[in-house]
Structure 1
Amino acid sequence: MLASLIAAVVLTSTAVITLATLPGSLRGAVQNRVELDVRRVASDARTTQLRSMLPTSPRVHLLQVVSREGTVLAASHNLRGKPPITHLKLAKPETIYTTEARLSGDPEVIESDAKYLVMAMESQTPYGLVTVYGAASLADVDRALGWLYAVIFLGIPLVLVIVGSITWTVVGQALSPVERIRAELAEITGHDLSRRVPVPDNGDEITQLAATTNHTLERLERSVETQRRFVADASHELRSPITALRTQLEVATAYPDDTDWPSTGARALMSADRLTDIIDELLMLARLDAGAVTDRHVVDACRLAEEQERRRAGGAVSIVTDAPGTAPVFGSPIQLDRLLTNLLDNATRHASARIDLQVAVDEWDKTVVIKVTDDGPGIAPEYRDCVFERFTRLPEARVKDKDGSGLGLALSREIALAHQGSLTISDHFPGAQFVTRLPLYVEGYSPV
Structure 2
Amino acid sequence: MFFSVRGRATVTTVAVSALILVLVFVLLMLLVRDWAENEVWRKSERTVERVVTDIVRGRYEDVLDPEPDETPLMQVLGPEGEVVAESVGLSGAPSLAAEDVRKDKMLIDRTTCPGHLDECVWMFGTRLRTSPWGPGVMVIAATPMPTLLNVWLLPLGLALIMAALLALIAWWTWHTIGRAFVPVDEIRSEMAEFSARGLGHRVPVPQAGVRLQALAETVNATLERLEEATDRERRFISDASHDLRNPLAALQMQLESALDEPDGYDWRMMVQSALGNTRRLNDIVIDLLELSRLDARAPVPVERIDLAGLARREVERRPPRIPITTALEPGVIVRANPVRLARVLGNLLSNAERHATDAIQVTVARDGDEAVLEVLDDGSGVPEEARERVFERFARLRESRTRDPQGTGLGLPIAREIAEVYGGTLRIADSPSGARFVLRLPLPKNGQKGGPMGGPNDGPKGGLKGGG
Q: Aligning the two structures, in what range does the TM-score lie when normalised by the shorter sequence?
A: 0.7 to 0.9
Q: Which residue of 1 aligns with 2:194?
A: 188
2:109 and 2:125 in contact (8 A); partners too: yes
Deviations 1:25-57 (A, max 9, x none): 423441354267559969999x99894514868
**Range 336-345 or range 49-58, more displaced:** 49-58
Report the alpha carbon displacement of residue 407 of structure 1 after superposing the two structures with TM: 0.8
* Cα separation, 1, equivalents of 2:270 and 2:189: 61
Q: Equivalent residue for 1:397?
A: 400
The partner residue of 1:99 within 109, 112, 117 is 112
Counterpart mapping for 1:351-366 below 5 A: 351-352=356-357, 354-362=358-366
CA contact (8 A) 1:285 1:411 kept: yes
Conserved? CA contact 1:23–1:145, under 8 Å: no
Residue 348 of structure 1 deviates from its aligned partner by: 2.8
After TM superposition, give the deviation of residue 437 of structure 1 in Å: 3.5
Cα contact 1:70–1:84 (8 A) shared by 2? no
Counterpart position of 2:464:
none
Distance in 2 (alpha carbons) for counterparts of 1:215 and 1:323:
42
Q: Is 1:435 the counterpart of 2:433 in the alignment?
A: no
Rate the CA distance shift 1:204–1:426 in 2: closer, same or farther, 3 A.
Answer: closer
Aligned match of 1:319: 323
Q: Give the direction of change, closer, same or farther, for the CA distance of 1:361–1:120 in structure 2 (3 Å limit).
A: closer
Change (3 A) 1:62 1:346: same
Identify the residue that residue 463 of structure 2 maps to in structure 1.
none
**What's the secondary structure of 2:374's corresponding residue?**
strand
Residue 15 of structure 1: aligned partner: 25
- 2:93 matches 1:63: no
Structure 1 residue 288: Cα displacement: 3.3
Q: Tell which deviates more after alignment, 186-195 or 380-389.
A: 186-195
CA contact (8 A) 2:376 2:434 kept: no
Equivalent AA in structure 1 for residue 306 of structure 2: D
The offset of 1:356, in angstroms, is 0.8
Larger relative contact order (Cα-Cα within 8 Å, sequence gap ≥ 6):
2
Q: What is aligned with 2:355?
A: 350
Aligned-residue sequence identity (percent) comes to 34
Q: Distance in 2 between matches of 1:259 and 1:51?
A: 156
Matched, 1:134 2:145: no
Distance in 2, Cα, partners of 1:442 & 1:153 = 65
Q: Which amino acid aligns with 1:275?
A: L
Output aligned runs, 1:33-432, within 5 Å: 33-34=43-44, 37=47, 51=60, 53-54=63-64, 58-67=69-78, 73-75=84-86, 83-88=91-96, 90-93=98-101, 94=105, 98-100=111-113, 115=119, 117=121, 119=123, 127=134, 132-138=139-145, 142=148, 145-189=151-195, 192-202=198-208, 204-245=210-251, 257=263, 266-267=272-273, 269-314=275-320, 317-324=321-328, 326=330, 328-330=332-334, 331-352=336-357, 354-362=358-366, 367-375=371-379, 377-428=380-431, 431-432=434-435
Cα RMSD (Å)? 4.2
Structure 1: stretches of 5+ with no match in the other structure: 105-113
Structure 2 residue identity aligned to 1:136: T
Alpha-carbon offset, residue 260 of structure 1: 5.5
Residues 328 and 441 of structure 1: CA distance in aligned 2, closer, same or farther (over 3 Å): farther
Q: Distance in 2 between matches of 1:157 and 1:395?
A: 81
The alignment partner of 2:224 has SS state of helix
Counterpart position of 1:110: none
Shift, 1:368, TM fit: 2.8
3-state DSSP class of the match of 1:60?
A: coil
Superposed CA deviations along residues 313-369 of structure 1, whole A, max 9, x for unmatched, are 25xx323222455363312211121112112222333334x3413224255675333
Q: Per-residue deviation at 1:406?
A: 1.0
SS in 2 for 1:296: strand
Structure 1 outlier segments of 4+, above 6 Å: 39-45, 47-50, 68-71, 101-104, 120-126, 253-256
Structure 1 residues 264 and 310, CA gap change in structure 2 (3 angstroms): farther
CA drift at 1:411 = 1.4
Please give the TM-score of this superposition, normalised by the length of structure 2: 0.75
**What does the per-residue CA deviation read over 1:391-410, in whole Å, with 9 as the maximum and x for residues that have no partner?**
11122322333322111111
Contact 2:427 2:437 in 1 (8 A): yes
Tell me how far apart the structure 1 counterparts of residues 180 and 210 of structure 2 sit (CA, whole Å).
10
State TM-score, norm by structure 1.
0.78
Task: Return the alpha-carbon distance in structure 1 between the equivalents of residues 303 and 232 of structure 2.
Answer: 32
Query: Aligned to 1:294, what secondary structure does the other structure show?
Result: strand
Q: 1:329 to 1:64 in 2, by over 3 A?
A: same
Residue 466 of structure 2 aligns with which residue? none
Greater CA drift, 115-124 or 393-402: 115-124
Q: Which deviations, in whole Å up to 9, do the C-alpha atoms of 1:66-104 show, x marking residues without a partner?
A: 44899864456x66xx72445447434325563346978
Distance in 1 (alpha carbons) for counterparts of 2:305 and 2:265: 49
- Cα distance between partner residues in 2 of 1:212 and 1:324: 43
The verdict on how the C-alpha distance between 1:56 and 1:129 changes in structure 2, with shifts beyond 3 A counting, is same
**Distance in 2 separating the partners of 1:48 and 1:71:** 25
Residue 366 and residue 209 in structure 1: after superposition, are their counterparts in 2 closer, same or farther (change >3 A)?
A: closer
